[in-house]
Amino acid sequence: MRAVLIALLLATVPACDKGGTSGQTGSGSSRRSNDELAREQERFDAERKPQKVVEALGIKPGSRVADIGASSGLLTLHLARAVKPNGKVVATDIDGAVLELLRARLQAANLADVVEPKVVGPDEPGLEANSFDAILLAEVDQYFSDGVAWIKNATKALKPGGRIVISNRIHHRQKSMASAQGAGLKLIEESTPVPTHFIAVFTAGDNK
């Protein structure tokens, strides 16, 4: 969730796209109450139907999933619930400050031990090879300077049969699908759970 300088905007823009607070600092994040976090989560859940993303990922207790550009963790929370107690979510973002808000949200939900927040570079997945059942790109792939190269690199982190799921606004669909196709992914399912967003499910096929 372009030149290197523009890439740094990923730290703030996805926070808005995913329902978070743009420009939030680590110290500001710590001042947000559990009630505020809960209200924000409730609005997001009602508008975006995040359970549909969880279903598309095909994850279950014990699964290992990467949430790319996780921002403030509005989707991460649902992934953590799906894979607990013995699964793991690696939640990446290029901004460590926004991950502090993610930590606060997870702590309030007693899910902090399920999630590993991780700061990564703007053009590197930063994921361990052959380690993930699924990788989620939610409102983030439009910011990659080279979407095809990024996705090709990310497929190395998938276990055999693993999935890459792209969820984004409808007006980004053409670019998302072109990047996935260019990276050799195979589309296995697509849906539009809410009018503004699509969900596309891919496997790496023979190109991993």
- Say whether pLDDT at 10 is over 70: no
State pTM to two decimals: 0.83
Q: Domain locations in the chain?
A: 4-207
Cα(122)–Cα(1) distance, rounded to whole angstroms?
9
Q: Which tokens hold the place of 74?
A: 């509005």
Question: Residue 36 — very low, low, confident or very high, per pLDDT cuts 50/70/90?
Answer: confident
- Distances from the Cα of 77 to the Cαs of 5, 22, 101, 107, in angstroms? 30, 19, 12, 10
Cα(123)–Cα(67) distance, rounded to whole angstroms?
15
Assign a CATH topology to domain 4-207. Answer: Rossmann fold (3.40.50)
Q: Give me the pLDDT at residue 18, please.
A: 56
Q: Contact at 8 Å (CB) between 165 and 192?
A: no
HSE at residue 204, side-chain half, CA atoms within 13 A, is 21
Quick: pLDDT tens for 122-176: 999 999 999 999 999 999 999 999 999 999 999 999 999 999 999 999 999 999 9
Q: Is 60 helix (H, G, I), strand (E, B) or coil?
A: coil
Contacts of 99 (CB under 8 A, 6+ apart): 70, 91, 93, 117, 118, 119
Give the strand pairing for 115-119 and 64-68: unpaired
